[in-house]
Amino acid sequence: MITVNEKEHVFHLHNGRMSYLFYVMDSGQLGHLYFGKELRSDGSYLHMVEKAHRPMTTYITEGDLYTSYEHLRQEYPTYGTSDYRYPALEVQGTDGSALCKLEYQGYEIIPGKKPLPGLPATYVEDPAEAETLEIRMRDPWRGLEAVLSYTIFRDCDAIARSVRFVNKGEKTLFLDRAMSLSLDFPDADYESVQLSGSWARARSIVTRPLPPGVPAVSSMRGNSSHQHNPFLALKRKHTTEHSGDAYGFSLVYSGNFLAQAEVDNYNVLRVMLGINPFGFRWKLAPGGEFVTPEAVMVWSNQGLNGMSWQFHALYKNRLARGYWRDRERPVLINNWEATMFDYVEDDLVRFAQKAQECGIELFVLDDGWFGARNNDRAGLGDWKPNPAKLPNGIKGLAQRIEGLGMKFGLWFEPEMVNRDSDLFRAHPDYIIQTPGRTPSHGRNQFVLDFSRPQVVDEIYNQMYALLSTAKISYIKWDMNRSISECYSASLPADQQGEVFHRYILGVYDLHERLIRAFPELLIESCSSGGGRFDAGMLYYAPQGWTSDDSDAIERLKIQYGTSLVYPISSMGAHVSACPNSQVGRNTPIETRGNVAMTGAFGYELDLNKLSEEELKAVKQQVVFYKQNRKLLVQGAFYRLLSPFEGNFAAWEVAEHDGSRALVTVTRILSEINGPYRRLPLLGLDPDRKYHIYSKYLSYEAYGDELMQFGLMLEDQASGQVIEGSGGSGSCEDFRSLVYEVVGM
Ligand code: DGJ
C-alpha cells in the first residue's frame, strides 16, 4: 500500500482505489503532489511541482528566483520562511523567535497502525488491514523532532494522520500551533461543506463556495460544540450525493478545534485541521513529547454519500470498539422528557413496567436521582442516590428493573459540579476558574478541572462505587455547559495554554478507566444533546444523544446532517410525547417511530399516558425494530432526498450484498393532489427480484427497475387519498412510511 520512489524521494500511499503522493524537496521540506483517484504506482510525478518566477515573492536561496515556499504545495508547512499562508506548525523558543524549519531525516513503514497514547484513534485488528508511513523531520536549529504519521487502510478510502513532536534540544520550546493535518490542493474550485447550527439544531448541512481568504469553522468552548462540528468536506460544484469527487476531513477529538480552508492568490487551497491554536500553547521541555489528535481524510468519487460510507465504515468498525461495537443495541426508554426531576422510585417502576410490556429492553434513569438534585441548582458532583426519591438506592431500583426483565441505565454528568453540593463545599478549588475573577456559570453549574488527575480520580471513585454495587448496564454521560475562564490551579503560568487539551485528556482517561473496569457497559455520550457529537467520543461511546430536539420533523435534518460523517448506529433517537416539548408540534406516532428507528432507537415519554391505539403502534414499532436492528446497525446508508432541499426526506439502509433494504420516506407538509412520485433506490442487485411492502403497497420488481425507474410512492406519503376516506382527509402534514424491499 505504500510505495517509495527512493530516487525521486516520492512517497505514494495507495490502496487500489485512491492515491496520496508527496515528496521531499531539495531543501528537506515535504511537498505535496496529489490526493484522489488512484494513479499508477510506477509513475514519475515530480513534474507536478509548479514553479515560476513571480513578482513580490520571497525566495528561499539567493540566486534562485524560482523556489519559494509561497508557491509550493506543502505537506506540513511551518512558520517563518517564505510561505505567507497559515502554517501547520508554530513553535516559539525561549529566545522569542517563532521561526521553524523542518527537514527530512528518514522514514519507516510499519504494518498496521500504532495506538495514540491517551487519545482516541482508529485502529486495526489485523496488521494486514493497514500500513503506516512515519516520516521523521527535524529542525536542527531548535532540536525539535516531528514524526508525521500516515496510515492508509486497505478496505477503506481513508488516511489517518497525526504528528508526534519531541524536543531533542536543550532548551524549552512552546508549541503555539500543532495541526493534525495540512493539505494543499492545486486548485480551489470546490464548495466547502460544514455541519453547523446551535443547541437543538446542530449539524445542519451548510454548503458554500470557497472565496479567496480563510473560511473556517472552529470551537473555543472546550467541547467540540453544537455550533460547528470538527469536520469539513470539499466537493466540486457538479458533485451530487452519489457522483463526483468529494473529500472529507474529520478530527478524532472532542475539544477545541479549527478546520480551515485557505484560498491563496493563485487559487491554491490549503486545508487544515487540528486543535484550535487559540488558547493553545504547549510547553515542551527538553525530552518532552506532544502528540496531536488524529485527523482522518477520506476521498470518494461517488459523491457526498460515498464520502459518508468511508467515514461510516471506518468509524463503525475501526473507531468504535469493545463489547457493543457490533452488537444490536437495546431498545431503551428514558424518563427525562416525561418526568424531569420530579419522581420517586415507585413512579419509575410503573414507568418501566409499561415499557417492558411494550417489549422495551432498557430503562434509563436520567438526571435528578442523586444528592440534593431536585432542580438544576444543586447536587452535581455528589453521585450518591437521593434517599427521599430512591429509598432503596440505585441498587434497589436496579434490582426492581432487572426483576421486570429489563436492563437498567443511569445518567451522570461527571465533569460538573453545583456550588450547592458536598463536593464543592469540600473542594471549591476543584473547578476551572481564573484566580481573582468570578467564574461564569452555565445552568448553575461549574466545570470540574479534569486537567487535574486527582479530580478525575475523585469522580472515578464515586462512579466506580455505584457501578460496582448496582447492576447498571448503561450510562448516559452528559455535559451541559462549555468551559469559560479557562485556568487550572494546578499548572504554572507558562502551562495555562495546556488546560483545554489536558481537560479533554482527563475526560478520555475517565472513559478509558470505566471501560476497562466495566467492559460490557454501554456508554451513550451527550452534551445538552449533540454538543460533543464527534469522532473522539465514538471511541468510548458507540452511541450519542444526537440532539435535545426530539421532534421527528426537526430530527429529519439533524439526523440527515449527522449522517454526513457519523454512522446511524451512533445516533441516539427517541420517540417522544406530543405536543413535542421543544417545538410544540404534533406528529403521528408512526412518523416519530420511523424517524427514530434509523438510529439507536428508544422512547422518551410516559407510555402510561398513551391511548390504546398509540400503545399498539409502539408495540409494533418495537417488534419491527428488533427484527431489523441488525440491518440498521450494520447496513449501508444512502441519503435519497434531502430535507434541506425540499418537502421530503428519504433514506435507505441496505444490506451490503443488496439482499434487503429499508426505505424511510417522510413528507414534511401535506401536499394536496400532488404529482406521482417515484424514488430511485441504490445498492440493490439489478438482476434480483424484490418484494416491496409498505403499509399501503405490496408489489414485486427487479433491482434494475427499482434503481432506474424507482420505487413507486403510491400511498399517503405522496399525497394520494385513500379510497373511501371521503376526499382529501387522509392528507396530513408530517406523514412517513417505511418500505421493506426484500430480495426474493
Ligand atoms: C441534557 C440532555 O441532553 C437531556 O437529554 C437530559 O439528560 C438533560 N441534560 C438532563 O439534565
Backbone angles phi, psi at 537, to 5 degrees: -65, -30
Element (H, E) at 535: helix 535-538
Residues 378-383: what's their mean pLDDT?
Answer: 98
Parallel, antiparallel, or unpaired: how do β-strands 698-702 and 689-693 relate?
antiparallel
pLDDT digits (tens, 9 = 90+) for 664-689: 999 999 887 778 889 999 999 999 99
In angstroms, what is the span from residue 413 Cα to ligand 1's centroid?
Answer: 9
Query: Can you tell me which atom of ligand 1 is nearest the CA of 529?
Result: 3
Does the annotation mark 478 as catalytic? yes
pLDDT digits (tens, 9 = 90+) for 13-44: 999 999 999 999 999 999 999 999 999 998 89
Could you tell me the pLDDT band of residue 381, with boundaries at 50, 70 and 90?
very high
Query: Can you tell me which atom of ligand 1 is nearest the CA of 527?
Result: 3
Query: Could you give the CA distance from residue 276 to residue 296 in angstroms, rounded to a whole number?
Result: 16
Cell of 475: 450510562
Distances from the Cα of 44 to the Cα of 8, 48, 133, angstroms: 8, 9, 20
Does residue 717 have a pLDDT over 90?
Answer: no
Q: From atom 2 of ligand 1, which residue's Cα is the shortest distance away?
A: 528
Return the C-alpha torsion angle 203, 204, 210, 213, nearest 10.
-60
Does residue 92 have a pLDDT over 50?
Answer: yes
Does residue 713 have a pLDDT over 90?
Answer: no
Parallel, antiparallel, or unpaired: how do β-strands 636-641 and 600-604 relate?
unpaired
Could you tell me the pLDDT band of residue 729, with boundaries at 50, 70 and 90?
very low
pLDDT digits (tens, 9 = 90+) for 235-280: 999 999 999 999 999 999 999 999 999 999 999 999 999 999 999 9
Closest CA to 666 of 571, 741, 580, 598: 598
Query: Can you tell me which atom of ligand 1 is nearest the CA of 476?
Result: 7
Closest CA to 185 of 246, 276, 253, 275: 246
Closest CA to 88 of 146, 13, 159: 146
Does residue 722 have a pLDDT over 80?
Answer: no
Residues 582-601: what's their mean pLDDT?
Answer: 96
Q: Is the peptide bond before 435 cis (omega within 30 degrees of 0)?
A: no
Which of helix, strand or coil describes residue 423?
helix
Radius of gyration of the chain (CA): 27
Residues with CB under 6 A from ligand 1: 336, 366-367, 411, 478, 480, 526, 528-529, 545, 548
Does residue 388 have a pLDDT over 50?
Answer: yes
Could you tell me the pLDDT band of residue 741, with boundaries at 50, 70 and 90?
very high
Query: Could you give the CA distance from residue 50 to residue 52 in angstroms, rounded to a whole number?
Result: 7
Q: How many CB atoms lie within 10 A of CB 428?
A: 12
Which of helix, strand or coil describes residue 218?
strand
Q: Exposed e or buried b for every residue in 459-472, given b needs 16+ CB within 10 A?
A: bbebbeebbeebeb
Does residue 719 have a pLDDT over 60?
Answer: no
Does residue 224 have a pLDDT over 80?
Answer: yes
Q: What's the pLDDT score for residue 667?
A: 92
Q: What's the pLDDT score for residue 262?
A: 98
Q: From atom 1 of ligand 1, which residue's Cα is the shortest distance away?
A: 528
Query: Could you give the CA distance from residue 288 to residue 91 in angstroms, rounded to a whole number?
Result: 14
pLDDT digits (tens, 9 = 90+) for 612-665: 999 999 999 999 999 999 998 889 999 999 999 999 999 999 999 999 999 999
Q: From atom 9 of ligand 1, which residue's Cα is the shortest distance away?
A: 528
Distances from the Cα of 662 to the Cα of 64, 741, 742, angstroms: 63, 6, 9
Does residue 129 have a pLDDT over 80?
Answer: yes
**Contact between residue 583 and residue 734 where contact means Cβ atoms under 8 Å apart:** no
Return mean pLDDT, the chain: 95
Q: What's the pLDDT score for residue 715?
A: 63
Active-site choice (367, 449, 478, 551): 478
Residues 586-608: what's their mean pLDDT?
Answer: 97
Does the annotation mark 382 as catalytic? no
Return the C-alpha torsion angle 153, 149, 255, 97, nearest 10.
-160
In angstroms, what is the span from residue 479 Cα to ligand 1's centroid?
Answer: 8
**Cβ neighbours for 284, distance < 8 A, ≥ 6 positions apart:** 144, 165, 166, 167, 172, 173, 174, 175, 290
DSSP assigned state of 262: E
Q: Using CB atoms within 10 Å of the CB of residue 221, give its burial: 0 to 12 exposed, 13 to 18 middle, 19+ buried.
A: buried
579 strand-pairing partners: none
Active-site choice (83, 157, 366, 548): 548
Residues 57-64: what's their mean pLDDT?
Answer: 90
DSSP assigned state of 46: G
In angstroms, what is the span from residue 235 Cα to ligand 1's centroid?
Answer: 35
Lowest-confidence segment of 179-193, 288-302, 729-743 by average pLDDT: 729-743
Q: What's the pLDDT score for residue 390?
A: 98
In angstroms, what is the span from residue 675 Cα to ligand 1's centroid?
Answer: 42
Query: Could you give the CA distance from residue 5 to residue 40 in angstroms, rounded to a whole number?
Result: 12
Q: What's the pLDDT score for residue 80?
A: 86
pLDDT digits (tens, 9 = 90+) for 517-552: 999 999 999 999 999 999 999 999 999 999 999 999
Cell of 493: 503560568
In angstroms, what is the span from residue 723 Cα to ligand 1's centroid?
Answer: 44
